[in-house]
Structures are given as structure tokens and as C-alpha cells.
């Protein structure tokens, strides 16, 4: 992350806040205000109660995320598919280089910035930590984010969503009556961050995927107290293990949907060691903002894109925008009814999300819901182009069935009258600069 911060600083992509900032609410509030102004990353140089500066909104930019994976044309999904193909043919265990990690400084959790984000949060949370763990049976690495409530220097309470791999790793360890060792990586390389947002299949190593995005090996060193290696460019590493058969109250916490998740019994993580690089920088993410949603949106869209490309022709791009549960698919129509087939496949492509699925032509901006909605309104009838699928379960955490059902919208042009819907253009407008005329 340090090298990435340097790059952002050199090109003026980071806003530096020098005045002292309170980690309770003030840091989160200023982050939101900065995000409302533009997508610059933010560096808080002075945070009360800690010596560590705090970086935030590093990944709250679509353009920066595309740059990280090398999607030069802005099509993240297509580039991700290329990288994923490379993962399938690359050699396991050739991706890392073992080095010494002895130059790190040891400390305790309370030395880190303890940030409270929203009014009713139970207390400080670590929101940007990438959990790295090895499957107890296969040894395959998984990377994923899990909000972690600070209890004291020895304990965190963590939500392991039951549809995520770390939960299955935990269950596999529990079946052996063993704790599951994990390292929380705070302030990772951008490649590892993006890989952690993705849900790869059980046999695919997400650390290896990080190396493929990076295009070089990852330098790793042994943890001090657990049988794991950590990437040495990680700013802060928290080592420990999940206790088997143990759940304790965690929450409330203001999370990605914009509401508070109430107190629930969640997993207990015992901290065995904390270390950091010299002059570490802490990474904070305000849940539910662009820095949380854009990386998840892109990696979820990439998964849906890959699934759709396996099923059907003409898939150009996918966005899960403006919220993860909305899937917008851009196609190049090849036959009458093509969009209808894409809609059905899009529902099946992600069982947790895809609550609404919309298909548009390739002249519509899938990141602009105004444009998407305009296409639905201007390219055909309202009644025959929308369909409701009733009583289908959606998001895995949904006791009240708030996320059941699907809405499918075909917002494409009528296949046989496509020429009637040519978008009007002004020749040469792209090259015009208004400022040249003022």
C-alpha cells in the first residue's frame, strides 16, 4: 500500500488532512465529505490516540481500480476474465518468494487507530482487514474482508458470512475440533486488496491471483505465532485464531446496505501477535461508501460476466451499479429474444444478488442509471419488457425475506427495429473544449 500511496501522492490523487481528527465519527464524517467532492484518496496525518496516519478511499475510484488490474479500456470484467484464465494455467506455489520478516515492530491492538464510524456502532471496528487463511484440508489460501469489532487487546468479534469461504474454512477446522489460524492484513498491496474482494472457486488460490494481477511474485515471511506466511509489504499484521464452537455478541454495526445490523452472535478471534512495518500507515474503509462498493461491484460483475459469457454470445460488459443487488448487462443483440435469455441467465449467475436484472444495448452507459432507465423508457413498452419472478430467495442474511423475488427488465431496442433507435450525435463534440471558448 505504501508504494501505491506514493504513486497517488506524486500525481496529486490524494487529499492530505493535517489538522488533528477524532477517530470517533469525525474521521468517517470527513471521509464522506471528501468523497462527495471527488474520488481522491484521503490521508489523515494526525488521528487522536495513535501515532499512525490513516489512509482512506484508496479504492473509491473506478478508474483507479481499472488501472490496478490493467483494464486500459475501462472494461474491468473482460480484463478480469483474462487474468482468471492466467490463474487457471499458472503453477501453484510458484507465486511466492520467501524472505525474512524480522524487521517488523511488535505492538498491541490498542496502538492502532481505533475508529468508530456510525452513531450506533457498538464501538471501534477494523473494516479494511483482509483475512488470510489456509484451508485446513487443502492448504489453499483464501482472502476476504470481515468486519471486526475491537473488544480488547486480545479479542475481536468477527462476522463470517455463511456464503463466504472463510466460514467454510472455519467449519472445516471446527469439524476437527481445532481453532482456525488467520492473519488480518491491514494496508495490503492494491493487487491483494482487489483479489480479496473476489469470490473465486474453492480450488483457486486468491493469493496466487494477487500475484497474477501484480505480474510478479509476492514476497512472504513467516508469521510469529501461527502457521501462515504473510506478504511482507503489508503495513500491519494481526495474527490469531478463531475459537471453535464459540459465538459471542457482535454489533450493532452500520454496514454496506446503509442500515445497522443489530447485535448478533458472531465469531471470536483471539489475537496472538500484532506487528507493523516501520512508520506504518493504517487503512480505513467507511462501509457502504464507494471504497467498499466499487471493488465489490467490479468483482461481482466480473463473476456474473464470466458466467454469462459461458452461456450466451454477445455479452459486452456487466455492472452491479448503483448497488450490488442491481445487475445491468450490456449486450450486442444477435437475435430476437437474446435479451430475454440473458435476463434468465443473469438471475442464475449470482444467487445472493441480482435482485433486479436489466439488459441494455451497447450504446448505453451501464454505470449511469439515468441512461439505463432512459433506455427502458424510450425503447419500447413498459408492460411486456418487465417481469417479476416471485418468491425466489436472495441475499443469504434475510430472516424477513426482504430480498426475495426478482425483477427482470429488458431495456434493449426491439431487435427488428434497431435502426429506428439510433442515438443522435453532434459530430466533433468529443474534441471540443468549452474552456477554449471562454
Minimum CB separation from ligand FMN for residue 291, in Å? 7
Q: Taking contact as CB under 6 A, which single stretch among the options 70-78, 88-96, 194-202, 218-226 is the one that binds ligand FMN?
A: 194-202
- Sorted by sequence, the CB contacts under 8 Å of residue 368 that are 6+ apart come out as none
**CB contact at 8 A, 283 and 235:** yes
Binding map of ligand FMN across residues 263-292, x = CB under 6 A, - = no contact: ----------------------x------x
Beta partners for 238?
Answer: 184, 274
Asked whether position 165 contacts ligand FMN by CB under 6 A, the answer is: yes
Query: Which position among 64, 79, 157, 164 is part of the footprint of ligand FMN (CB under 6 A)?
Result: 164
Among 161, 264, 322, 380, interactor with ligand FMN by CB under 6 A? 161
Q: Which of residues 283-342 bind ligand FMN (CB under 6 A)?
A: 285, 292, 295-296
184 and 130 Cβ atoms separated by less than 8 Å: yes
Give the shortest CB-53-to-ligand FMN separation in angstroms: 20
Question: Stretches 78-86, 115-123, 145-153, 413-421: which one binds ligand FMN (CB under 6 A)?
Answer: 145-153
Q: What string of DSSP letters covers 251-298?
A: --EE-TTSSEEPPEEEEEEEEEEEEE-SS--EEE--TTSHHHHHHHHH
State in angstroms the smallest separation of the CB of 58 from ligand FMN.
12
For ligand FMN, the closer of residues 251 and 280 by Cβ is 251
Of 64-72, 79-87, 193-201, 275-283, the window that binds ligand FMN (rule: CB under 6 A) is 193-201
d(CA 383, CA 150): 51
23 burial via Cβ count (<10 Å: 0-12, 13-18, 19+): buried
Which residue in the set 56, 144, 284, 330 belongs to the binding site for ligand FMN (CB under 6 A)? Answer: 144
Peptide bond into 240 cis (omega under 30): no
Q: Is 147 in the site for ligand FMN (CB under 6 A)?
A: yes
Q: Does 159 bind ligand FMN (CB under 6 A)?
A: yes
Edge-to-edge strand ranges of the sheet holding 96-98:
96-98, 218-222, 229-231
Query: Does residue number 210 form part of the binding site for ligand FMN (CB under 6 A)?
Result: no
What are the b/e assignments for 73-104, b being 16+ CB within 10 Å? eebbbbbbbebbeebeeeeeeebbeeeebeeb
Report how many residues bind ligand FMN under the rule CB under 6 A: 19
Q: Which three cell numbers stand for residue 25?
A: 465519527
Q: Where are the beta strands (DSSP E) in 302-393?
A: 315-319, 326-331, 356-361, 386-389
- What are residue 239's phi and psi, to 5 degrees? -100, 150
Residue 21 or 296: which CB sits closer to ligand FMN? 296
Stretch that binds ligand FMN, among 24-32, 44-52, 79-87, 192-200 (CB under 6 A): 192-200
- Minimum CB distance to ligand FMN smaller for 174 or for 368: 174
The verdict on 142 binding ligand FMN (CB under 6 A) reads yes
CB of 256 to ligand FMN, least distance (A): 7
Number of helical H runs and strand E runs in the chain:
10, 23
State the nearest-atom distance from the C-beta of 187 to ligand FMN, in Å: 13
Using CB under 6 A as the binding rule, whether residue 352 contacts ligand FMN is answered as: no
Q: How many Cβ atoms are within 10 Å of 315's Cβ, its own excluded?
A: 24
The alpha carbon of 200 is separated from its chain's Cα centroid by a whole number of angstroms, namely 13
Per rule CB under 6 A, is residue 198 in the interface with ligand FMN? yes
**Cβ contacts of 288 within 8 Å, gap of 6 or more:** 254, 255, 256, 257, 258
166 binds ligand FMN (CB under 6 A): yes
- Closest contact distance (angstroms) between CB of 254 and ligand FMN is 12
Nearer to ligand FMN, 193 or 241 (CB): 193
Residues in contact with ligand FMN by the rule CB under 6 A: 127, 142, 144-147, 159-161, 164-166, 197-199, 285, 292, 295-296
Amino acid at each position: 500500500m505504501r508504494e501505491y500511496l506514493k504513486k497517488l501522492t506524486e500525481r496529486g490523487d490524494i487529499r492530505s488532512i493535517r489538522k488533528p481528527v477524532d477517530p470517533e465519527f469525525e474521521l468517517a464524517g470527513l471521509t464522506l465529505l471528501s468523497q462527495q467532492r471527488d474520488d481522491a484518496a484521503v490521508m489523515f496525518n494526525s488521528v487522536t490516540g495513535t501515532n499512525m496516519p490513516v489512509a482512506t478511499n484508496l479504492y473509491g475510484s473506478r478508474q483507479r481500480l481499472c488501472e490496478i488490474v490493467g483494464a486500459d479500456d475501462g472494461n474491468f470484467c473482460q480484463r478480469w476474465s483474462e487474468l482468471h484464465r492466467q490463474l487457471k494455467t499458472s503453477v501453484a506455489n510458484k507465486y511466492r518468494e520467501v524472505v525474512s520478516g524480522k524487521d517488523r515492530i511488535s505492538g498491541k491492538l490498542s496502538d492502532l487507530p481505533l475508529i468508530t464510524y456510525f452513531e450506533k456502532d457498538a464501538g471501534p471496528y477494523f473494516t479494511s482487514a483482509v483475512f488470510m487463511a489456509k484451508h485446513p484440508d487443502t492448504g489453499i489460501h483464501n482472502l476476504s474482508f470481515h468486519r471486526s469489532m475491537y473488544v480488547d487487546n486480545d479479542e475481536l468479534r468477527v462476522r463470517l458470512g455463511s456464503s463466504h469461504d472463510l466460514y467454510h474454512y472455519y467449519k472445516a477446522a471446527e469439524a476437527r475440533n481445532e481453532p482456525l489460524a488467520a492473519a488480518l492484513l491491514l494496508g495490503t498491496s492494491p493487487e491483494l486488496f482487489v483479489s480479496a474482494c473476489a469470490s473465486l472457486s474453492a480450488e483457486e488460490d486468491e493469493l496466487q491471483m494477487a500475484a497474477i494481477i501484480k505480474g510478479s511474485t509476492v514476497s512472504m515471511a513467516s508469521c510469529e505465532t501461527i502457521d501462515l506466511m504473510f506478504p511482507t509489504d503489508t503495513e500491519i499484521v494481526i495474527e490469531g485464531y478463531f475459537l471453535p464452537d464459540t459465538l459471542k455478541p457482535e454489533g450493532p454495526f452500520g454496514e454496506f446496505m446503509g442500515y445497522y445490523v443489530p447485535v448478533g452472535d458472531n465469531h471470536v478471534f483471539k489475537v496472538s501477535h500484532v506487528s507493523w512495518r516501520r512508520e506504518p500507515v493504517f487503512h480505513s474503509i467507511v462501509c457502504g461508501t464507494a471504497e467498499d462498493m466499487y471493488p465489490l461491484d467490479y468483482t461481482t460483475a466480473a463473476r456474473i460476466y464470466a458466467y454469462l459469457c459461458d452461456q450466451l454470445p454477445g455479452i459486452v460488459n456487466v455492472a452491479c451499479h448503483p448497488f450490488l443487488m442491481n445487475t445491468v448487462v450490456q449486450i450486442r443483440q444477435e437475435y430476437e429474444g437474446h435479451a430475454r435469455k440473458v435476463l434468465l441467465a443473469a438471475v442464475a449467475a449470482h444467487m445472493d444478488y441480482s435482485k433486479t436484472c436489466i439488459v441494455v444495448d451497447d450504446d448505453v452507459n451501464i454505470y449511469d442509471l439515468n441512461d439505463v432507465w432512459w433506455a427502458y423508457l424510450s425503447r419500447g413498452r413498459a408492460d411486456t419488457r418487465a417481469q417479476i419472478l416471485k418468491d425466489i430467495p436472495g441475499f443469504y442474511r434475510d430472516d424477513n425475506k426482504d430480498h426475495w423475488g426478482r425483477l427482470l427488465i429488458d431495456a434493449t431496442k426491439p431487435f427488428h427495429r434497431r435502426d429506428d433507435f439510433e442515438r443522435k450525435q453532434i459530430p466533433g463534440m468529443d474534441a471540443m473544449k468549452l474552456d477554449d471558448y471562454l
